[in-house]
A and B are shown apart, each in its own frame.
Chain A
């Protein structure tokens, strides 16, 4: 019988980070200590802040909401937690996951706000997919959800937005940005707190926590979460990166943390121009173009031009589009070419 590496009880599992055998209580203690260390070290939470927790009903957001609630009481961060959910309008999927969030609200005693795509944009994901088909619909969903979370947090008066991205998600994103040459996003996607300059900060407390550990933590704590995958996203390009990251994790568990470490070490060379962040002319939210991607995609949906914001706009095309213009006048801009903002962090 294998014994726990910290006490003399029988071991129940191996930790993903170091491979040490641990028992249930030690695993839970170490898990929460790791998250606490990440919060303190990266400066994720500040006293007196109101924090919106992006809650989708899945395991990551359920665990991050639960752990933040526990650690907030234990270590007295002094923050006010608020659950924020986005209803994309995917029948049979999102309504069931939102029921899980409702149960979490009751169980944890945290206030919950639900926003829907239909209310914010006039289109639900079911309507979008019936219009454009299953290809590229992740682009619309990701762009809308990110802006919806920003809008919801501002509506609540929150100072910070917390998401449940874990180490596997971070490694996948770094890998995908390298595979697609998206160097502007590569510089932004690895920090634990992004958007510190005037816009809403986003924090990822589970940044160094493995997905497998999150599942085991939710299992031992008997947390209630929804685990079905989205039915519109079976062929996403991210699936390739996800399978590769899982293979790396099987071969060498530290490889996932090492990919994140590599991403943190990277920077853009000085001579390469990057887009400047401004505000959208139409809705006023953050954007590097004259029109933000959400407004551009909405234009495409409303005017039946389904390639607007998705396909690359040719510069000599007779159909002049505002969104195709780049704000970096005269400079070689990193945002030329088709980009998939649904992977934005």
Chain B
């Protein structure tokens, strides 16, 4: 009797409210209403943008990475496909298991674990290592796995070439999105569903500001990202926080989809822009500023770049400014790929990068292993400086 007096009521029914989500006003829910609320956020993110209506293509690449949010996404896809006709998730999935660890035993361990629950989604499952960004996708039709020892060695070499932890983390983030888009193009799919949660996207907005990517924060945090030609990135967990995801994973036994691998990037410690940002946002949320994450995300969707130019880097989604010719304003991270390219001192065999055009004061760099060649970025020649002669000689 005394215990129930202080309990708040669920905002949806007369039961005691024991759970609260991302809502800044601290609305309380009972367990069934909480589950319903979180799932409704997922459904409305997809439904309100009419992604699968009006004759839209339904083939979708679902990205699974083994962490909590992607386990949650897999569970929601599975339930959505099995729902009745009114609530069915009308998409045709292909599940892509994205591997980022470089140890062969760890990769084999992940594959074995995935085989245990492959039947939860009736779809084609493929395994893609993030180092495939340096490889080719020709054998993707026959095999269900791409990324070999050679590309993993290249990947490790590039990561070791990064000067700081901040650069390495940013390179991994950019490569992750790009590899998903490339696999989708190869499969003829025009939608990629990624499992970024609200917490991760808010932190991404803040540290993207610190990397001079203000012009693209609305793209990298929106529910639908159309910066890549012919492929849209969908983030259906955009309004769901990590806490809500963890609770629902526990309630619905989706924890079995989580794969912990030793040596994954979560275990890497060190001072970086990303870790400082993560700590900062978490501290604000704990200190009582509960609207931090929702405010950051709503702010990011209202902003765009002041530039009207259409030249956008396909690696980091940055728009190029007229000030690009001014060395003072050229951040060395306008495109991280460029920095890594310079940091390994123009070893083209590692990145398979060729200089294609020297147009006036700009250098057009092309990744040669893709077919057709894919433009990555335009860089003023004065930034390359003394390396320009070496770069041109590489082309010959």
Q: Report Cα–Cα, A267/B328, bound state, in Å.
A: 22
Who on chain B is nearest to A208 by CB? B328
| Bound complex: CA A247 to CA B164 (Å) | 15
Given known A-B contacts A251-B272, A267-B303, A269-B302, A261 and B292 have beta carbons under 8 A apart: no
* Residue in B302, B328, B329 whose beta carbon sits within 8 Å of that of A268 in the complex: B302
Query: CB within 8 A of A254: which of B296, B321, B332?
Result: B332
Residues in B with CB closer than 8 Å to A272 are 302
Residues of A within 8 A of B166 (CB): 251-252
CB of B299 within 8 A of CB of A265, answer: no
| Residues of the A chain whose Cβ atoms lie less than 8 Å from the Cβ of B314 | none
Residue in chain B with minimal CB distance to A272: B302
| A244 x B276 contact (CB < 8 A) | yes
Distance in angstroms between the alpha carbons of A263 and B164 in the assembled complex: 24
Q: Judging by beta carbons under 8 Å apart, are A252 and B273 in contact?
A: yes
Are B209 and A259 closer than 8 Å at their CB atoms?
Answer: yes
If over half of B's interface residues share one DSSP class (helix, strand or loop), that class is named, otherwise mixed; here it is: helix
A64 in the interface (beta carbon within 8 A): no
Q: List the B side residues contacting A259 at CB < 8 Å.
A: 209-210, 212
Against A, the Cβ 8 Å flags (1 = close, 0 = not) of B298-333 are 111011111100000000000101000000110111
CB-defined contacts of A297 to chain B, threshold 8 Å: none
Bound Cα distance A37, B329 (Å): 13
- Give the complex CA separation of A250 and B319 in angstroms: 27
Tell me the bound Cα distance from A255 to B210 in angstroms: 5
- Size band of the interface chain A makes with B: 20 to 34
Interface residue count for B (Cβ, 8 Å)?
43
Whether B211 is near chain A, meaning CB under 8 Å from some CB there, is yes
Asked if B212 contacts A262 (CB within 8 A), the reply is yes
Partner of A265 from the list B215, B271, B302 (CB cut-off 8 Å) is B215
- B79 within 8 Å of A by Cβ? no
Nearest Cβ on chain A to B178's Cβ, whole angstroms: 21
Q: Which residue from chain A places its CB closest to the CB of B274 in the assembled complex?
A: A251
* A179-B292, A181-B298, A244-B280 known; A269-B303 Cβ under 8 A: yes
Contact: B299 with A178, CB < 8 Å? yes
Q: B201 to chain A: which residues have CB within 8 Å?
A: none
Give, as a whole number of angstroms, the nearest-CB distance from B359 to chain A: 24
Contact in complex: A255, B302 (CB < 8 Å) = no
**Residue from B206, B283, B305, B329 within 8 A of A267 (CB atoms):** B305
Q: CA–CA, A2 to B304, complex, Å? A: 45
B254 at the interface (CB under 8 A from A): no
Per the bound structure, the CA–CA distance linking A177 and B196 in Å amounts to 24
Indicate if B352 sits at the interface (CB-CB under 8 A). Answer: no
Closest chain B CB from A291 CB (angstroms): 27
Contact A262/B295 with A251-B271, A254-B332 known, Cβ cut-off 8 Å: no
List the B side residues contacting A180 at CB < 8 Å. 295
> Which A residue sits closest to B333, measured CB to CB?
A258
Q: How far is the CA of A174 from the CA of B209 in the complex (A)?
A: 9
Task: Quote the shortest CB–CB distance from A219 to chain B (angstroms).
Answer: 25
Given known pairs A240-B283, A262-B208, the reply for A186 and B303 (CB within 8 Å) is: yes
Chain A hits for B218, CB < 8 A: 269
Of A179, A250, A254, A269, the contact of B304 (CB 8 Å cutoff): A269
Q: Which residues of B sit under 8 angstroms from A65, Cβ to Cβ? A: none
Contacts of A267 in B (CB 8 A): 303-306
A258/B209 in contact, CB under 8 A: yes
Q: Which of A179, A257, A265 contacts B321 (CB 8 A)?
A: A265
B205 within 8 A of A: yes
Complex interface: chain A residues within 8 A of B276 (CB): 244, 247-248, 251
In order of increasing CB-CB distance, the 7 nearest A-B pairs are A262-B214, A258-B212, A265-B215, A265-B214, A267-B306, A255-B210, A262-B209
Q: Is B213 an interface residue (CB 8 A)?
A: yes
Q: Which chain A positions have C-beta within 8 A of B149?
A: none
Residues of B within 8 A of A186 (CB): 299, 303
Asked if A102 lies at the interface with its beta carbon under 8 angstroms from chain B, I say no
Q: Which of A174, A183, A254, A258 has the most CB of B within 10 A?
A: A258
